[in-house]
A and B are shown apart, each in its own frame.
Chain A
Amino acid sequence: GAVVSQHPSRVICKSGTSVKIECRSLDFQATTMFWYRQFPKQSLMLMATSNEGSKATYEQGVEKDKFLINHASLTLSTLTVTSAHPEDSSFYICSASEVGGYTFGSGTRLTVV
């Protein structure tokens, strides 16, 4: 089946620095990928839709200058959390749409100290 690889699985960074998270579709091409954020014991909240070769579409309330998304190829989308602060600590998950449904990456646990 379709596989989405997400890296890193865990990252700890200092407040004020930037962190990049990668999401790759391993055996299919994904013109559209999605980025979610999940707080403990809560559901997934869509942050943005990443479109290959064009600008991402952000959900209401998500700062596009803080959460930079780049989808430069059909198999790779990246999310960069810029000038991270402790409140950005969360579980970030990407997904890609393909025939048969939506496949999710294994998530990235970001801790900002």
Chain B
Amino acid sequence: GQQLNQSPQSMFIQEGEDVSMNCTSSSIFNTWLWYKQDPGEGPVLLIALYKAGELTSNGRLTAQFGITRKDSFLNISASIPSDVGIYFCAGTLRGAQKLVFGQGTRLTINP
């Protein structure tokens, strides 16, 4: 099926560092969503993007909907221990309702 290519697969950083991850596709997406999943829990929505070029912030998180509609990035500034988890990008294709997920980025923060 349709896939989103999410990178990097994992990140090991020091507390206080900034983080950047992105998703790309060969297809055009209508929406881009970024989720965080903690172990044993469902994904929690962080940021939702609906327009090409849209740049949205949620606290220390910033995400952008790529101008070509085929990519998106998520930045986390000044990471803290509770940022640890798996981050997923997800999107909906034109005319479709179901979400397509990226492979996830596992973030580990070294004390």
- A residues near B (Cβ < 8 Å) are 4, 6, 32, 34, 41-46, 49, 59-60, 91, 93, 95, 97, 100-107, 109
Contacts and interface: CB of A to CB of B under 8 A. Distances in A.
B48 A44 contact: no
Interface residues of B, number: 21
Nearest to A108: B42
B24 interface: no
B44 A44 contact: no
Contacts, number: 51
B88 interface: yes
13 contacts: A32-B97, A34-B98, A41-B106, A42-B104, A46-B99, A49-B97, A101-B45, A102-B45, A102-B90, A103-B45, A104-B35, A104-B42, A104-B44
A89 to B, nearest CB: 14
B42 A105 contact: yes
Interface of B: 1, 31, 33, 35, 40-45, 48, 88, 90, 97-99, 101-104, 106
Nearest to A60: B1
A44 B43 contact: yes
A101 B35 CA distance: 11
A106 B48 contact: no
A59 B1 contact: yes
Given A34-B99, A59-B1, 7 more contacts: A4-B42, A101-B33, A101-B45, A102-B33, A106-B42, A107-B41, A107-B42
A59 B2 CA distance: 12
Contact of A104 (B1, B43, B106): B43
